[in-house]
Structure 1
């Protein structure tokens, strides 16, 4: 997450949505009083103990809201990036098994494990995307949602909105896999559609 008092924005970094590229682009425009919390590539923590103790940078709007005050939260421009849940789930499976390489050897077995045998519902990267950008009642809190599928155009629009020059995004932590649809059969499609049903509906994605 980044909270910029200088440019009056809140950026929620949903896992597996190109957040490192966006963070890198935004850092050059941050003021002295701005805050960032991150753990990969750069170690930064909010000067708010309750947030710093979370130990990761994927903080939701709902989690940060009590510490910013209602005036700031309501008036600051709030944005995030989202990704097709079918594509994001493939990315999660590859990431979660990267050390042993099991996804490369048998991707469908790994996908079935995480969908049906032992869904890691408490893992921050597995968590549905809508939980980062909605309130307790399920209402969307973001003013703008960029999409990974049109990353540069989305960032250009966001940069214009917050009043900073745009820049070409880098590709930090990018994978080299092919089309996500190459990894699915109908059972897996149905499994992802069930777990991430709210993401699919809220963000306008399908298989």
Structure 2
């Protein structure tokens, strides 16, 4: 997460949505009073002990809200990037087995392991994207704008225009070398991801083939 007091925005970094590319582009705009929490490539922590103890940079908007106060939180432009849950789950599997070829050799076995046999419920990368973007009731969205990974540069350009900073080309950072996500799936796996990430599918308007109405 990045909190910019200079430009009055909060960037909620959802894992496996190109967050490091966005961070890199935003850092050149950060002022001295701006703060960031991140644990990969760069190690930075928020000044609040309870959030600093999380040890990663994927902080929920509802958790930073009490530290900023209602006036600041409500007045700052809050945004994030979201991704097709079916594509994101493949990225998760590839990331978790990086350094070996298990996922390349037996992808559906790996997918079934995470979905059916030993789902890592508490792992922040495995949890639904909406988890970081909703209020305590689990339903009310707190972000003012959502960009899509599927149209990342165009969405980033629009967000920069909204917060009044210069845009720049997003670099490809920490990406998994693989092709289209759809051939990895069979019907049972499609249904399992649809069930596990039902809130993401509904809230962000996705289908198996992509953003609804844009497939």
Class of the TM-score when normalised by the shorter of the 2 chains: over 0.9
Q: CA deviation at 1:63?
A: 1.0
Whole-Å Cα distance in 1 between the matches of residues 31 and 9 of structure 2? 12
Equivalent residue for 1:195? Answer: 196
Query: Number of aligned pairs?
Result: 207
Does the Cα contact within 8 Å between 2:135 and 2:142 map onto a contact in 1? yes
Find the residue that maps to 2:206 and give its secondary structure. Answer: coil
Equivalent residue for 1:90? Answer: 90
Equivalent residue for 2:143? Answer: 142
Find the residue that maps to 2:146 and give its secondary structure. Answer: strand
Equivalent residue for 2:157? Answer: 156
Find the residue that maps to 1:78 and give its secondary structure. Answer: strand
Find the residue that maps to 1:201 and give its secondary structure. Answer: helix
Q: TM-score, normalised by structure 1?
A: 0.98
Whole-Å Cα distance in 1 between the matches of residues 10 and 151 of structure 2? 20
Equivalent residue for 2:19? Answer: 19
Whole-Å Cα distance in 2 between the matches of residues 11 and 55 of structure 1? 17
Whole-Å Cα distance in 2 between the matches of residues 174 and 129 of structure 1? 18
Equivalent residue for 1:113? Answer: 113
Q: CA deviation at 1:46?
A: 0.8
Q: TM-score, normalised by structure 2?
A: 0.95
Equivalent residue for 1:52? Answer: 52
Q: CA deviation at 1:99?
A: 3.2
RMSD between aligned residues: 0.7
Does the Cα contact within 8 Å between 2:4 and 2:30 map onto a contact in 1? yes
Equivalent residue for 2:206? Answer: 205
Equivalent residue for 1:178? Answer: 179
Q: CA deviation at 1:174?
A: 1.4
Which moves more between the two structures, 96-105 or 52-61?
96-105
Find the residue that maps to 1:172 and give its secondary structure. Answer: coil
Instruction: Report whether the alignment pairs 1:72 with 2:66.
Output: no
Whole-Å Cα distance in 2 between the matches of residues 92 and 148 of structure 1? 15
Equivalent residue for 1:35? Answer: 35
Q: CA deviation at 1:47?
A: 1.3
Cα deviation digits, residues 50-94 of structure 1 (max 9, x gap): 111110000010111110100000010000000000000000011
Whole-Å Cα distance in 2 between the matches of residues 191 and 51 of structure 1? 32
Whole-Å Cα distance in 2 between the matches of residues 188 and 132 of structure 1? 24
Find the residue that maps to 1:156 and give its secondary structure. Answer: helix
Equivalent residue for 1:129? Answer: 129
